[in-house]
Amino acid sequence: MLIEAKDKNAWNQFILTQPHAPFTQSWEWGEFQKNADRKIWRLVVTSESNEFCGIVQAIQYPLPLGKSFLYVPRGPIVKKDSSRIISEIIHHIKLLAKKEGAIFARIDSLTDKKMGLQPAPAEAYRSAITQPKTEWMVDISQTEEDLLKAMHEKTRYNIRLSQKKGVVTQFFTGTELKKQLNDFLMLLGETAVRDQFYLHPVRHYETLIQAFHEHVELVTAKFQGKTLATGLILFFGDTATYLYGGSSSENRNLMAPYAMHWEAIKRAKGRGLVSPKLGEGGCRYYSFGGINDTDLAGVTRFKQGFGGEAVDFPGSFDMIVNPMWYWLYNTTRRLRR
């Protein structure tokens, strides 16, 4: 049976049985999307005994001229490697897209089971909502000593240099996090100008923090009371994910971002939203987010200095509902570049 989900705890516990549990399929992510005035669907495939067999959370995003598309980030998620269940979910998503008048449905799959889906063409619609195809992950179940040994020697040196120079790292949650939000947004904006990337509206960060509440923390690295680096860390399942961050152009010789991430890694080892099936305790992985060798080459080298490995995902797959509008919209965007 395929039904609409009503139970937050049952939904999240099902996701938490998965390695690298994707927070973008969590109940909280759905609430975050609803607070951003987007329509969402949470669908569950159940067995005859009413057990969860698979889930999918789809989000409707607006496009110009009153059009829209459906988006499934890091899903669907199934209990077993069942092509039948995945096929059933994907079929329903396409029917839902037709019903809603969407141009297409995009799936950023968590697994390699494409089930006949075709990769999104190079000219297809892209935006900041699309999940990175490759993430940099560090297995933090090792001891701190082993983690340091696995780092690039320059990264290890910069961490110790930052600590020696007096950079102090702090973590903030709840009300205290909100008090630090202006510093976070200021450094994020400074970094966006310096590195030439676009930011979300302020409301995006505020509603994200509100939705995930105690599962998101702000880490800051300060020197003599001045914030030099800051990052937003999300703890979900066995993974702590570095979502957003920025650093000051001042005092760059103090290497504050190195100290910040090292302390965030140590923090993640001791906390997390963990399912009993995954074991009690902290997170097992620290995700630095997306990497690539083109526009993120410098950032990628920084992340790789902490050790770890690249985790590749299949990427985006589009189910085209309205071929004419799909071609027209993507062609228009390509001509505007």
Highest mean pLDDT among 69-83, 119-133, 216-230, 271-285: 216-230
In this structure, what are the phi and psi dihedrals at residue 63, rounded to the nearest 5 degrees? Answer: -125, 165
* pLDDT score of 117 more than 70: no
50 CB-side CA count, 13 A: 3
304 with 171, same domain: the answer is yes
* pLDDT score of 245 more than 60: yes
79 with 138, same domain: the answer is no
pLDDT above 90 covers what percent of the chain?
A: 64
Q: Contact, 333 vs 106, CB < 8 A?
A: no
Distance CA 298, CA 284 (A): 26
Question: Range of 54's domain?
Answer: 2-131+316-336
Structure tokens at 334: 């390509």
Render pLDDT for 171-194 as a digit per residue (tens, 0 to 9).
999 999 989 999 999 999 999 888
112 with 239, same domain: the answer is no
The pLDDT score that the predictor gives to residue 296 is 74
Q: Contact, 183 vs 227, CB < 8 A?
A: yes
259 with 273, same domain: the answer is yes
181 with 306, same domain: the answer is yes
- Going by pLDDT thresholds of 50, 70 and 90, the confidence category of residue 121 is low
Could you tell me which residues come within 8 angstroms of residue 9 by beta carbon, excluding any fewer than 6 positions away? Answer: none
The CATH number for 307's domain is 3.40.630.30
106 with 157, same domain: the answer is no
Distance CA 212, CA 32 (A): 8
pTM: 0.90
154 with 288, same domain: the answer is yes
Distance from CA of residue 308 to its chain's centroid?
18
Q: Contact, 167 vs 335, CB < 8 A?
A: no
- Tell me which amino acid residue 23 is: F
Q: How many CB atoms neighbour CB 335 within 10 A? A: 8
Could you tell me which residues come within 8 angstroms of residue 133 by beta carbon, excluding any fewer than 6 positions away? Answer: 290, 312, 313, 314, 315, 316
Render pLDDT for 155-166 as a digit per residue (tens, 0 to 9).
999 999 999 999
The structural domain count of the chain equals 2
117 with 32, same domain: the answer is yes
* pLDDT score of 276 more than 60: no
The pLDDT score that the predictor gives to residue 275 is 42
